[in-house]
Amino acid sequence: MRLITHNMLQCHVRGCNANNFPLELQEVVLEQEEAEMNEDFLRNMLGKLEYDALVATCHKLDINDLPVTLPEDAQYNEEFLQILHRIILETHVKSGKMVCPNCNHTYSIRDGIPNMLLAEHEV
Amino acid sequence: MPRFLIQFAQQHEEFRLPELEALATIENVQMTYNPDEYSLASPFLVVEVDSAENAASLLKRAILVKTIIELWGIGSSWDELIENVKKHPENWPQYLDTTFKFSVVTFGGTIEMKDKPEIINRFAFTGFMGKIDLKNPEEEFLLIADYGIDPNVTVAHTFYMGRLIGQGKRDLIDKFNVKKRQYIGNTTMDAELSLIMANQALCGPGKLVYDPFVGTGSFLVTCAHFGAMTMGSDIDGRQIRGKGKTSIRSNCEQYDLKGRVLDTLVFDVCHAPWRKINGGIFDAIVTDPPYGVRAGAKTLGRKDPSKQASEPRIAVEHGVFSHLLPDYIPPTKPYEMTEVVADLLMFAVKTLVRGGRLVYWLPTVTEDYTIDDLPSHPCMELISNCEQAFGQWSRRLITMEKVKEWDGEATLGPPTGDMNKSTMAPKQQGHFGFRDRYFSFGVVDNAKRKKELKDAFQKGGVEGVAAYMKQREEEKKQQQQQQDQQE
């Protein structure tokens, strides 16, 4: 699972509607895998990302390359887009878990595939 | 405006114009044609496009377009064609010195090799002086004789002449051929249709495309091939993980698309964990919902609601909550086709960006289908509806575009059909209870055959049965012939 995907996921247990994002990554194994740079895509995603949540998540993973606030010229800031690319598209969570800060539900990640299925009583 | 002749592939006919329109949209090409001139029974269509460059751009990713030529003339005979080509000598001078070749091409008939040079020589009036190069000419000129699809017709009815602009990308069908793909399942969509769907969805660089019933991931790779970033999810994680060394991931490696197929996740699209993003997340949703013929659709929950647990269950033998066990799989219940489609449409309304497209398959029982069966929503505009027929049932490729933001309230369109006019049982949609009805086609047929066989035996004994079988054979043959002709 890439960090871009993590930024789009929230806890969806029945009744868990507040403080359910971002899911806290725990016991993760990370892997870097090179991918072609795609500026159009990054620009498309800039408005969709929750930037503060991304920075906070990265800090917990000890990735401190992102500026704390989104640069005003982010769309055309080459250097920034490169960093963003490396973090949200080239950093993979191979295994670990995601824990909801509100209800503590734990979603596991195995072989890079997050299991977001709910249990019977959570539907 | 310059005129161009498009030669489509003579298959998936209903999909050809919608794909062409999508290609024009993707490439931002102004294209006009007379819809009355288009027929499913012919591969040819004359279009007007402002330049040859723009006509060529339509070919960049065309699956159902075989060739485009810059049209220099049409006629109902070679003589008339030549007369018409001669009316526009302004077309010729710029090719006077290029290397070139002429080719004679036919559709629905044949012209013998030995007769072709004579036809070509009749076009010597163009006065081209460049070298003839049969292997790598700078320009190729086509002489096309169209005999039509009726196999009994032995004379061509329309003749075209023009300069070849280029070929479509039908070679991609071979590249993505499922027979050569490492990981497939029994519901994997064939390559040609997967590629067409990627075009219908306007997939391209910079876009995010999602398949909520990802299965073995056909659309992830075809949409990514055209430059989009793709994601998929499925309630069945086994499909995603695959078997042994083959999986969606290995397919991405096979096609060198690992960088564009972003992620696959396990969840039920009825309980999707996507964060709400104002203005939408996905630029397109491309999917083949499991319509229950080979793999029934499932959603989380229990068939019997009274057995549905509201508190965590304890796994007795382990002494812990069962949902915390590593191999826990929550219970699922059947997911009726009409619900699947209604939910999918609502999901698209909520998660697509404005201008984003939903491209999905809808199976229908042919005799019950009406256009009113299509679920509608005020935010979604129907772009195209193409049928792939299989006799008693068919599936339709539906393309919709989100044309306005959702206000958070508007729901699916009102019940359709003539439910209010009739005192009879309300009409069901042509995809209602699709699975059960699909399987009953065969059963009804078999019961009928058995009864007929019995009658034949009672009437004429063994000989009666033989006569009946012979009659059946002939009926089958006739049906086959009719089908072949239609194709």
Q: Which helix (H) or strand (E) holds B243?
A: none
In sequence order, what are the residues at sequence separation of 6 or more whose Cβ sits closer than 8 angstroms to the Cβ of residue A17?
none
Pick the more confident residue, B429 or B111. Answer: B111
Instruction: Provide the residue type at B136 as one letter.
Output: N
Residue A36 pLDDT greater than 70, yes or no: yes
Does A10 sit within 8 Å of B275, measured CB to CB?
A: yes
**Chain A contact for B275 (CB, 8 A cutoff):** yes
Q: Which two tokens stand for residue B259?
A: 């960088």
Half-sphere exposure of residue A86, counting CA atoms within 13 Å on the CB side?
10
Q: Which two tokens stand for residue B160?
A: 């075209």
Which residues of chain A lie closer than 8 angstroms to B258, CB-CB? 33, 35
Q: How far is A64 from chain B (nearest CA, A)?
A: 23
Residue B175 pLDDT greater than 50, yes or no: yes
Q: How far is B17 from chain A (nearest CA, A)?
A: 29
Backbone angles phi, psi at A70, to 5 degrees: -65, 125
SS3 of residue A75 by DSSP? helix
Chain A positions touching chain B (beta carbons under 8 Å): 1-2, 4-5, 7-12, 21, 33-36, 38, 40-41, 43-45, 47-48, 50, 89, 106, 108, 111-123
CB B15 within 8 A of CB B64: yes
C-alpha span between A10 and A103 (Å, rounded): 12
Domain extents in chain B: 3-169, 173-297+335-402, 301-327, 449-487
Does A43 sit within 8 Å of B300, measured CB to CB?
A: no
Does A4 sit within 8 Å of B265, measured CB to CB?
A: no
pLDDT digits (tens, 9 = 90+) for B218-272: 999 999 999 999 999 999 999 899 988 899 999 999 999 999 999 999 999 989 9
Angle at A25 between CA B287 and CA B263, to 5 degrees: 20
Please provide the DSSP assignment of B169-212 as one string.
-THHHHHT-GGG-SS--TTPPPHHHHHHHHHHTT--TT-EEEET
CB A31 within 8 A of CB A92: yes
pLDDT digits (tens, 9 = 90+) for B212-232: 999 999 999 999 999 999 999
Cβ within 8 Å of A, B 200-219: 205-208
Chain B residue closest in CA terms to A116: B267
SS3 of residue A114 by DSSP? strand
Angle between helices B191-200 and B218-225 (to 10 degrees): 60
Q: How far is B241 from chain A (nearest CA, A)?
A: 8
Chain B residue closest in CA terms to A11: B273
**Confidence band for B421, pLDDT divided at 50, 70 and 90:** very low
CB A23 within 8 A of CB A107: yes
> A69 vs A52, A55, A72, B142, B440, CA distance in Å?
7, 8, 9, 60, 61
Tokens 């250097």 — which residue? A79
Provide the pLDDT for residue A106. 94
Q: Is beta strand A106-110 parallel, antiparallel or unpaired with respect to B332-334?
A: unpaired
Which residues of chain B lie closer than 8 angstroms to A91, CB-CB? none
SS3 of residue A5 by DSSP? helix
Average pLDDT over residues B98-115: 96
Does A117 sit within 8 Å of B330, measured CB to CB?
A: yes
Pick the more confident residue, A18 or B444. Answer: A18
Pick the more confident residue, A63 or B447. Answer: A63
* Strands, sheet with B158-167, edge to edge from the N-terminal-most edge strand: B31-32, B44-49, B3-8, B65-75, B158-167, B139-146, B100-107
Q: Which of A13, A7, A10 is nearest to A21 (CA)?
A: A10
Instruction: Provide the residue type at B72 as one letter.
Output: W
Highest-scoring range by mean pLDDT, B55-59, B90-94, B180-184, B233-237:
B55-59
Q: Is beta strand B208-211 parallel, antiparallel or unpaired with respect to B282-287?
A: parallel
User: Which residue among B262, B275, B330 places its CB closest to the CB of A118?
Assistant: B330
Q: Which helix (H) or strand (E) holds A40?
A: helix A39-46
**Confidence band for B422, pLDDT divided at 50, 70 and 90:** very low
Number of domain units in chain A:
1
Interface test with A, best of B203, B267, B269 (most A CBs within 10 A): B267
User: Which residue among A38, A47, A118 places its CB closest to the CB of B205?
Assistant: A38
Average pLDDT over residues B154-179: 97
Chain A residue closest in CA terms to B323: A119
**Helix, strand, coil % (nearest 5) of chain A?**
35, 25, 45
Which residues of chain B lie closer than 8 angstroms to A89, CB-CB? 259, 262
Backbone angles phi, psi at A117, to 5 degrees: -65, 145
Q: Which of B36, B14, B39 is nearest to B146 (CA)?
A: B39
CA torsion through residues B426, B427, B432, B435, sign: positive
Please provide the DSSP assignment of B23-60 as one string.
HHHHTT--EE--GGG--TT-SEEEEEES-HHHHHHTTT
Chain A residue closest in CA terms to B305: A120
CB B188 within 8 A of CB B176: no
**Chain A contact for B243 (CB, 8 A cutoff):** no
Does B231 sit within 8 Å of A12, measured CB to CB?
A: no
Q: What is the CA radius of gyration of chain B?
A: 27
Does A120 sit within 8 Å of B309, measured CB to CB?
A: yes
Provide the pLDDT for residue B298. 82
**Chain A contact for B258 (CB, 8 A cutoff):** yes
C-alpha span between B224 and B234 (Å, rounded): 18
User: Which residue among A4, A45, A120 places its CB closest to the CB of B313?
Assistant: A120
User: Which residue among B206, B240, B264 places its CB closest to the CB of A41?
Assistant: B206
Domain B173-297+335-402 has CATH 3.40.50.10890: no
CB B359 within 8 A of CB B286: yes
Residue span of the structural domain in which A43 resides: 3-122
**Chain A contact for B267 (CB, 8 A cutoff):** yes
Which residues of chain B lie closer than 8 angstroms to A118, CB-CB? 267-268, 271, 300, 330
Pick the more confident residue, B265 or B299. Answer: B265
Average pLDDT over residues B138-155: 95
Does A12 sit within 8 Å of B273, measured CB to CB?
A: yes
Chain A residue closest in CA terms to B280: A48
Does A113 sit within 8 Å of B205, measured CB to CB?
A: no
* Residues across chain B: 487
Provide the pLDDT for residue B334. 79
Which residues of chain A lie closer than 8 angstroms to B267, CB-CB? 115-118
Q: Which two tokens stand for residue B345?
A: 């449409």
Average pLDDT over residues B57-67: 98
Chain A residue closest in CA terms to B267: A117
How much is the pTM?
0.86
Residues facing B396 on adjacent strands: B362, B387
Provide the pLDDT for residue A114. 97
Residue A26 belongs to a domain with what CATH number?
2.20.25.10
**Confidence band for B458, pLDDT divided at 50, 70 and 90:** confident
Provide the pLDDT for residue B420. 33
The CA-based dihedral angle spanning residues B261, A99, B212, B229, taken in that order and rounded to the nearest 10 degrees:
-20
Peptide bond preceding A22: is omega within 30 degrees of 0, i.e. cis? yes
Chain B residue closest in CA terms to A109: B265
> What ipTM was predicted for this assembly?
0.96
**Chain A contact for B259 (CB, 8 A cutoff):** yes
SS3 of residue B85 by DSSP? helix
Tell me what percent of the residues of chain A surpass a pLDDT of 70: 100
Cβ within 8 Å of A, B 292-331: 300-302, 308-313, 322-324, 326, 328-331
Chain A residue closest in CA terms to B326: A108
Tokens 């019997």 — which residue? B304
> B251 vs B16, B183, B209, B214, B228, CA distance in Å?
28, 6, 17, 13, 16
Highest-scoring range by mean pLDDT, A108-122, B292-306, B309-323:
A108-122
Fold category of B3-169 in CATH: VC0802-like (3.30.2130)
Interface test with B, best of A113, A115, A118 (most B CBs within 10 A): A113
